[in-house]
Structure 1
Amino acid sequence: MKYKIILSAFLVFNVLYTNAQDAVATQDEINKFYKTKTYVVFDSNIFGSYNKGIKKAIEQNWTLTEVEFIDETKYSKMKYSYRNSFMVRTKVKFTKDKSKTAYTFLSLLLGSKKGGSMSAMPDLCSFPLSYYNVDYDKYIYKLGAIVMFMQNHVKVTQENPNLSSKNILKYYSKNAEELGNKTLYVLKDELASDVNTISKIKAYYSGNVKIVEPEIIKKAIADKDPNVVFLHKVGPDSNSQKMRIYKVIMGASDGKLYYFNYHKYKKGKAPDAFLAKDFKSL
């Protein structure tokens, strides 16, 4: 996995920690991207589930550019050319985060003559998969939707050149108005104890919710079910007062973003989970 101290990343992270002017790709970078071939970089662990998962997600969903799957050795040689783009898992730390917490992102990057430094490679979109070293199984079944989101984000930023870190969150937040027509799929172990049953949830949210297993979410994504949205939670393996829990609701059919927020872990008050106040915000 590649490592960078990130200066430009998408989602709530860019507003919290990064240089605002770099958070959305420029029109020139986007135009260059469409002329590239996208190389999807496999993980060095050939026996892990990630390579199989990302290959399937790309083959079933990616349409923007021609693609090829490569290993990290080829990536290290090819990343210096602007004619190449890359989808690669990255280990990320944020420049303004004093806790020095590390995350795993899926990043869509442009090649650059300065490719020796990953932070110098133009970032079309970076999406948080998990805290660093969290098991693949926490996100592998959601890769199809994540790839669709990244693809659509490139289109959105191309079609809306006025978007920047100052207004990108507002742009995506308006999608929350459509949640009333969707069914929200959640995992029981990702819910706080006061909202871990349907009856408890109803006290805070009147929309349709189903508590399901990961395989059900995986199937909804594979089927591109337009009526389903699901929770993607990024949380730590171990609890700490400094840890942030990020919560994203996205569409199974297209990766569309409907909600995102975060909170700091507080023992007994704010667990590593989707909270009652999150349901109230929907």
Structure 2
Amino acid sequence: MISIAKKSIKNLVISIFMVTVGFHAFSQESLPTKLDYQKFYKTKTLVVLENSPFSEYNDKVKEAIKQNWVLNEYDFISNEEFDQKKTNPNYSFLVTSIVTFNKDKTKAQYNFLSLLLGEKATDITNMKDLCSVPMSYINVDEENYLYKLESLIRFIQNHVSMVSKNPSIISDNILKYYNKNMAQVKNKTLYITQEDLPPNTRSISKIRKLYPGRVKIVTTQEIEKAINNKNKDVVFLHKVGPEQKGHKARCFKIIIGADDAKIYYFDYHMIKNKQTDSFLVRDFKRLLN
């Protein structure tokens, strides 16, 4: 895990989920360019493994990459090798990092998965970021998010491919682009775990009073099976929060397609009072729009 302290929105570059958080406005110079995406295809992607012998991440990421990665050649390296090779422009890197945000009084930390270009930068925060996605809140058990890792990797790959073919969207609010898919959720079955629902909405009967679409309260194993089988009928909630640990933080809510790894919905809220670490009533109502 690479540590990035007090990272600003500007430094996250095109960490696409962070565009709307709003601590800093993007400068045009901070965004990756069409040329950066072209450079990527000439690189070899090095997937940085975790040092911890107790982490299941390494096995999961190896399996997901071997089964899905088709954009360019790849290999797996250690954190130590990353430090040695990160300035080499012949490489790109799929790496996890610990991210915090400037001017964030909560000082919350998140695990991100990022695709970076190798370049002569003094710090990882200055490396061109082609795509980053939040995986989890810091110190959350791996079992809360590793079952979705394949889908996140497929999303990063699809995002890079899409932007490469349509570079005009680089300067746009990319979340607005993805949230246009929201209307399609009603044609799918939304998989969501009971733990990711607010305490007063943990039954199908209560959900139906808010949202008439198809919803199924499932286990993490059922979501993983839908991802592995690329079930075209299923979208699932990827929630990033402190998992009821009582910490003040952002709760990110992302609905992703099990088959196409496409984002159908994105939003976030600060956890406080009735705004719990969950998919809120207002989120169900937004899906009606």
Give TM class, smaller chain.
over 0.9
Query: Structure 1 residues 22, 163: closer, same or farther in 2, change over 3 A?
Result: farther
Provide the rounded CA distance (Å) in 1 between the counterparts of 2:162 and 2:66: 21
Counterpart position of 2:16: 11
Point out where structure 1 has 5 or more consecutive residues left out of the alignment: none
User: Under a length normalisation based on structure 1, what TM-score does the superposition of the two structures give?
Assistant: 0.94
Query: Pairwise mapping of residues 135-150 of structure 1 onto structure 2 (< 5 A)?
Result: 135-150=141-156
Provide the rounded CA distance (Å) in 2 between the counterparts of 1:266 and 1:232: 20
Provide the rounded CA distance (Å) in 2 between the counterparts of 1:264 and 1:243: 6
State the number of aligned residues: 279
Counterpart position of 2:227: 221
User: Under a length normalisation based on structure 2, what TM-score does the superposition of the two structures give?
Assistant: 0.92
Residue 193 of structure 1: how far off its partner (Å)? 1.9
User: Match of 1:44, SS?
Assistant: coil
Query: Structure 1 residues 23, 227: closer, same or farther in 2, change over 3 A?
Result: farther
Residue pair 2:33, 2:170 contacting (<8 A) in 1 also: no
Counterpart position of 2:218: 212
Q: Which runs of 4+ in 1 moved over 4 A?
A: none
Deviations 1:206-229 (CA, angstroms, capped at 9, x unpaired)? 111111100111011111111110
Provide the rounded CA distance (Å) in 2 between the counterparts of 1:53 and 1:149: 16
Residue 46 of structure 1: how far off its partner (Å)? 2.4
1:131 paired to 2:137:
yes
**Aligned counterpart for 2:275 among listed residues 265, 270, 277:** 270
Query: Structure 1 residues 22, 216: closer, same or farther in 2, change over 3 A?
Result: farther
Residue 166 of structure 1: how far off its partner (Å)? 4.1
Residue 100 of structure 1: how far off its partner (Å)? 2.5
Query: Structure 1 residues 56, 12: closer, same or farther in 2, change over 3 A?
Result: same
Residue pair 1:23, 1:164 contacting (<8 A) in 2 also: no
Residue pair 2:19, 2:173 contacting (<8 A) in 1 also: no
Provide the rounded CA distance (Å) in 2 between the counterparts of 1:196 and 1:9: 35
User: Match of 1:162, SS?
Assistant: helix
* Amino-acid identity (%): 46
User: Match of 2:135, SS?
Assistant: strand
Query: Structure 1 residues 22, 223: closer, same or farther in 2, change over 3 A?
Result: farther
Point out where structure 2 has 5 or more consecutive residues left out of the alignment: none
Residue 135 of structure 1: how far off its partner (Å)? 1.6
Residue 9 of structure 1: how far off its partner (Å)? 4.3
Query: Pairwise mapping of residues 180-259 of structure 1 onto structure 2 (< 5 A)?
Result: 180-237=186-243, 238-240=245-247, 242-259=248-265
1:71 paired to 2:78:
yes
Deviations 1:157-176 (CA, angstroms, capped at 9, x unpaired)? 11222224642121101111
Residue pair 1:10, 1:23 contacting (<8 A) in 2 also: no
Counterpart position of 1:25: 32
Residue pair 1:14, 1:23 contacting (<8 A) in 2 also: no
Counterpart position of 1:156: 162
Please provide the CA RMSD for this pair.
1.6
Query: Pairwise mapping of residues 71-150 of structure 1 onto structure 2 (< 5 A)?
Result: 71-114=78-121, 116-150=122-156
Provide the rounded CA distance (Å) in 2 between the counterparts of 1:149 and 1:24: 19
Provide the rounded CA distance (Å) in 2 between the counterparts of 1:87 and 1:182: 30
Provide the rounded CA distance (Å) in 2 between the counterparts of 1:227 and 1:35: 35
User: Match of 1:163, SS?
Assistant: helix
Q: Which amino acid aligns with 1:273?
A: S
User: Match of 1:271, SS?
Assistant: coil
User: Match of 2:45, SS?
Assistant: strand
**Aligned counterpart for 1:50 among listed residues 33, 36, 57:** 57
Residue pair 2:116, 2:129 contacting (<8 A) in 1 also: yes
